[in-house]
Amino acid sequence: MTPKKEPKLAPTPKKEKKPKLLKMPKADKRDSKKLPAVPESILRRRKRRDQSKTAQLKSAIKKRALSHKKRKDIFRRAETYVKDYRKRERDEIRLAREAKTQGNYYIPGEAQLAFVIRIRGLMFKNEVAQWLVVNPDLTMGDQCSHVSFRCGEVREVGSVGGTIPRGWVAGPS
């Protein structure tokens, strides 16, 4: 037997030589890290902003809770004030009616009764005295009358001094 000859293959084309690229020198391990997508200064700014937002939210929640508590307290005080005021008014009316049925007069607890005389032609230096003379009970000159004063007016009459002679009427004992 004769050895078989292998068929000849077409010659392989020669590979084109690529130009050699210059290799970059190896960098330090520090430089081999990838750069972040966002700069660090912007990240810090975002972090600060987030912290301030959370602090603002916490303070707003705390402030809202305090204002809610304060509003409740104010409302509760107003309710008790109205309740006490209405009770006092009813007591005043009741006492006045009782005194009237017995043929007496009722003088409210706050008010004080005074016997006041207005001196005619007196030049008042004090504005309070001028205001007191404008009192409807004292408009007529050389007249005297019984006037009931509230707490503030009692102090004002006392501050006037000798310009308006007065005497306090003793209440029922």
CB-based contacts of 144, cutoff 8 Å, min separation 6: 115, 116, 117, 118
Characterise 103 by phi-psi region: left (phi > 0), alpha (psi -120 to 50), beta (else). left
Region 73-82: mean pLDDT is: 94
CA distance 5 to 110: 141
CB-based contacts of 160, cutoff 8 Å, min separation 6: 126, 128, 129, 132
Question: What pLDDT, in 10s, does the model give residues 102-158?
Answer: 999 887 776 666 666 555 555 555 666 666 655 555 555 555 555 666 555 666 666
Adjacent-strand bridge partners of 166: 116
Report the CATH number of the 112-169 domain: 3.30.1390.20
Region 67-81: mean pLDDT is: 95
Give the three-state DSSP class for 88: helix
Q: How confident is the model at residue 173 (pLDDT cuts 50, 70, 90)?
A: very low
Top mean pLDDT of 13-22, 23-32, 73-82, 99-108 is at: 73-82
Average pLDDT value over all residues in the chain? 75
Burial environment of residue 161 by CB neighbours within 10 A (0 to 12, 13 to 18, 19 or more)? exposed
Residue 162 pLDDT greater than 80, yes or no: no
Given the structure tokens 């902003």, which residue do they identify?
A: 49
